[in-house]
Amino acid sequence: MTIAPIFLRKLREMEPDSDFTSPKYGNTITSSSGAVYFCKKTTAASEQFTGEAESLRLMYDAAPGLCPKLFACGDDEESGETYFISEYLRLGHGLSDTAANTLAKRMAEELHKGTSETRKFGFGCPSYCGATRLNHGWFDTWEECYSSMIKELLDHLRDKSASRYSETLDLGEKLRERVIPALLNPLEIQPSLLHGDLWSGNVGVDTGTDEPVIFDPASFYGHNEADLAITRMFGGFPNTFYETYHEHFPKSQPEEQYQLRTELYEVFHYLNHTVLFGSGYEGQAQRLMKNLLKSVDPLQ
């Protein structure tokens, strides 16, 4: 398969004495040195590439080897395309207890200990959770940051059909007004670097090393517990993952509100799935929001 000129230029900068080949299908390019690269380019989704690249760069700096290493990402003036080049890893899916425990320990001790230079919450550029664009920006408190993230999803639903999603929009605004302050204002936490979309489909095991790898991030700096929420939603993570994680990164205080916070963070992903896939996930988002609104009344 003919290799795009932008990839050849960048790879030859990295490996001047190597030759490169690519299969007929797929996004991999193999060097005569034995290295394999994951390469993609676009004229339409440049901002999405940039967000993924910045996420990988920060994650790899915090926890080397826990995610693929980014080599290059940028805009090519000659072709008008945005390119992305990272390490290619051969991954198997399905976490054994051993791999899950390793992942939990590395997230707790390395990834989630990575914090923003400004000590603020949010992110310096837009990132994409699935196909949903999140503007981010920087916030002094996690309460403000998370409320803004929920507002963006509500705005997406409002743009799709304010009448169709009227009940969900109403519940979402009440969540922002009552639940988010009640549960997040009491927290005394530092911003943690998060993967942002850590469901089982974005986790694998390197077939060469048996080490866990996470990929396709939608990073931002937030409450570390928020990264655990989606792991509980679609399966794939054994109970030992959470036990090991909290051995190395204890639950935030007030600990008795841990389950409520988990449900609050799940709301984000159910709302996002409603944005992406429609009403199949809306009922679950509504159920969680109604339960949370009832649960926080005594806290008001």
Active site residues: 197
Burial (CB count within 10 angstroms: exposed 0-12, middle 13-18, buried 19+), residue 278: exposed
> For residue 80, how many other CB atoms are within 10 A of its CB?
9
CA distance 117 to 172: 31
Q: Which tokens is 164 given? A: 């169709």
Amino acid letter, 86 = S
For the chain, percent helix, then strand, then coil, each to nearest 5? 50, 20, 35
Contacts of 206 (CB under 8 A, 6+ apart): 89, 90, 91, 212, 213
Q: How many CA atoms lie within 13 A of 182 on its CB side?
A: 20
Q: At 231, is the secondary structure helix, strand, or coil?
A: helix
CA distance 6 to 132: 27
Scanning the chain, the segments in alpha helix (DSSP H) are 5-14, 46-62, 97-109, 142-161, 166-174, 180-184, 226-229, 239-248, 258-277, 282-296
CA distance 269 to 95: 22
> For residue 151, how many other CB atoms are within 10 A of its CB?
14
Q: Which of 291, 297, 290, 293 is closest to 167 using CA atoms?
A: 290
